[in-house]
Amino acid sequence: MRKILSTHPLHPRATAMLAGAGRLAIASALDARTLTAEARDADIVIVRAPLPPDLFDGAKDLRAAIRHGAGLDMIPVEAATAAGVLVANVPAVNARSVAEHVMFTALALSRRFRVMDRDLRAKGWLAGREHANSTSELAGKTIGIVGLGAVGQAVGHIAAHGFDLNVVATTRSLRPAPERVGFLSIDALVEQSDIIVLCCPLTEETRGLISRERIGRMKPHALLINVSRGPVVDDEALIEALRKSRIGGAALDVFSTQPLPPNHPYFGFDNVIATPHLAGITEESMMRMGVGAANEALLVLANKLPVNLRNPEVIEHYRRRFPAGG
């Protein structure tokens, strides 16, 4: 019987789709050793936790590693390709959830929601109201989007049409600019934006993109929102900037170390919102990601290629391993 290993439980609709195709096993733990052992006899692995590169060495039946979501950084794509394993993801289907989270944190930071709510509960009405004078509207401000893909475009659309923000973005290839979006270089974007949203993938190019130097160029009231991946930001520099009130605040959904340790310096700031990598997770997006991943798995098990194949260079090697495959 075919084994589909998922690092996490899937949405019930996805589980139901896979029921006839094989045995769905949920990983018993997420450490490298357990995942490697449990992938050894798997045909498919559905991924929401980082896979170790050597997982592929002993997984002789493994046909595909399928990301439940957009970011490919949890799959060592080179190692998978070398082993003849297909890599796929489910792009765009959580973009709306992430964009709504971005706008929610932009509003929460601008309106000082955390301290108002906290002080109302702890110190009473007047203490809660005290923060209101230093809050601001979003309308008319500039939001700078780094990574104008599915998430970035959804953020830009809501920001421009829903909140009357001016939208600027970096781009590497997208032309012409979407409606109401202006293109800037990354340096101009960090200098000119009141709100900076990071929604690029983690790559060698984006690792450390928000460097000490770029944090130093931000406006003193700038808000930094990171829904990309933790290592895109220089944590030490950001913590220092927050300590010195060099920027207005930050909303961080992703971190260089996940889970974020309970005593992390980010928890010490009133003007930081920290969430545990959940911007893309809602009832709706979990259903779409799960169904998308299950669809890709069913295609592969039916000897077809996944729709969102991310390592097409693997095909020849893959077909040598599974002569009927694809």
Ligand X SMILES: NC(=O)c1ccc[n+]([C@@H]2O[C@H](COP(=O)([O-])OP(=O)(O)OC[C@H]3O[C@@H](n4cnc5c(N)ncnc54)[C@H](O)[C@@H]3O)[C@@H](O)[C@H]2O)c1
Q: Which residues contribute to the site for ligand 3PG (CB under 6 A)?
A: 48, 68-71, 94, 280-281, 289
Q: Is the alpha carbon torsion for 187, 190, 193, 196 positive or negative?
A: positive
Interface with ligand X (CB under 6 A), residue total: 33
Cα distances (angstroms) measured from residue 289 to each of 121, 146, 156, 282, 320: 38, 23, 22, 10, 30
Options 81, 94, 192, 311; binder of ligand X; rule CB under 6 A:
94
Q: Which residue has the tokens 């009357």?
A: 164
- The residues in 156-175 that bind ligand X, with binding defined as CB under 6 A, are 170, 172-173
Per-residue interface string for the shown chain with ligand X, residues 253-292, x marking contact by CB under 6 A: xx----------------------x-xx------------
Options 11, 63, 112, 229; binder of ligand X; rule CB under 6 A:
229
Residue 295 in the binding site for ligand X (CB under 6 A):
no
Strands ordered across the beta sheet of 272-274: 181-183, 166-170, 142-146, 195-198, 223-226, 249-252, 272-274
What is the number of the residue whose Cβ is closest to ligand 3PG?
69
217 binds, among ligand 3PG, ligand X, none (CB under 5 to 8 A by kind): none
Residue 224 in the binding site for ligand X (CB under 6 A):
no
Q: What length does the chain have?
A: 326
> Would you state the structure tokens that stand for residue 82, as one six-digit string?
């070398």
CB of 163 to ligand X, least distance (A): 19
Options 102, 227, 238, 289; binder of ligand X; rule CB under 6 A:
227
DSSP string, 225-281: EE-S-GGGB-HHHHHHHHHTT-SSEEEES--SSSSPPTT-GGGG-TTEEE--S-TT-
Cα distances (angstroms) measured from residue 10 to each of 18, 88, 235, 280, 298: 10, 17, 32, 15, 15
Options 39, 98, 106, 291; binder of ligand X; rule CB under 6 A:
98
Environment class of 240 (CB within 10 Å of its CB; exposed 0-12, middle 13-18, buried 19+) = middle
Distance CA 201, CA 143 (A): 19
Options 146, 155, 260, 314; binder of ligand X; rule CB under 6 A:
146
205 binds, among ligand 3PG, ligand X, none (CB under 5 to 8 A by kind): ligand X
CB of 29 to ligand 3PG, least distance (A): 17
149 binds, among ligand 3PG, ligand X, none (CB under 5 to 8 A by kind): ligand X
Q: Which is nearer to ligand X, 59 or 106 (CB)?
A: 106
Q: Which is nearer to ligand 3PG, 144 or 280 (CB)?
A: 280
CB of 282 to ligand X, least distance (A): 10
Q: Which residues of 256-268 are buried (b: 16+ CB within 10 A; e: fewer)?
A: eeeebeeeeebee
68 binds, among ligand 3PG, ligand X, none (CB under 5 to 8 A by kind): ligand 3PG
Binding region for ligand X (CB under 6 A): 69-71, 91-92, 94-95, 98, 146-152, 170, 172-173, 199-203, 205-206, 227-229, 253-254, 277, 279-280
